[in-house]
Amino acid sequence: MRKQRIVIWRHGQTDWNTENRFQGHSDIPLNDVGFYQVRRSAEVLAGFHPTKIVSSDLKRAVSTGQALADLVNLSVITDKDLRETNGGKWEGKTGEENRAQDFERFTRWINGNDEPAGEIGERRSEVAARALAAIDRALDGHEGTLVVVTHGGTARCLLGNILQLPIEHWAVVGGLSNAAWSVIERGIKPLDRNNWILVEHNAGSLPQPVLGEESGGEAKAR
């Protein structure tokens, strides 16, 4: 069996990341730092010789994927099922604001509880299910290196599910920094054919802070 590789790549920085605002489905563009980050990361990721790029349809992810597509002569395929968690009533608000207005619910969610984000948003299990469906569609009939451009919270849900961790333990998967990536592979050895192995996590040229609490940023005390 030929080795199969997936690169899960978080979008570059946005102004809402630096303000610690819950972005969710809000269509926030990359800022100047974000564009710089993705250009630098794309130069490294081109060395994986990607054969397909699929991205969330939100502009911060599409712009990220396009930086790589321009280098490797591929098109960016968009799939809305790779979007960030729908944050419900938390979207657009800072972590401080959400703690002040919805402390108990927000704290439970940050700690890994599988309840709807922002009361009316998505559960982590729902995010994982739709994002995995998007990856299955992208992998259908495909061999080689698939680059999945997504969001910090979605990436964590994907990794927790793919690595078969109990949902209450997904929070132990560290967040991805902006424009950083994780790599999973299968088919390396006969016994690995049905299981994905995490071979890189939060990779990038230099360590960067994880910004955005839905993406695994450090929770601050109330």
Instruction: Judge: domain 15-215, CATH 1.10.1050.10.
Output: no
Q: Which segment of 73-77, 114-118, 211-215 scores lowest on mean pLDDT?
A: 211-215
The pLDDT value given to residue 212:
72
Separation of alpha carbons 188 and 159, rounded Å: 18
- Which of the four pLDDT bands, split at 50, 70 and 90, describes residue 209? confident
Average pLDDT over residues 16-20: 96
Q: What is the domain partition of the chain in residue ranges? A: 15-215
Q: Which helix (H) or strand (E) holds 15?
A: helix 15-18
| Counts of helices then strands in the chain (DSSP H, E) | 6, 6
The pLDDT value given to residue 191:
42
Task: Pick the catalytic residue from 25, 84, 151, 213.
Answer: 84
Q: Name the residue type at position 152.
A: G
The pLDDT value given to residue 218:
53
User: Residue 58 pLDDT > 90, yes or no?
Assistant: yes
The pLDDT value given to residue 215:
62
Separation of alpha carbons 184 and 148, rounded Å: 11
List, for residues 173-204, the tens digit of each pLDDT value: 989 999 999 999 986 554 444 678 999 999 98
List, for residues 135-170, the tens digit of each pLDDT value: 999 998 888 999 999 999 999 999 999 999 999 999
84 is catalytic: yes
11 is catalytic: yes
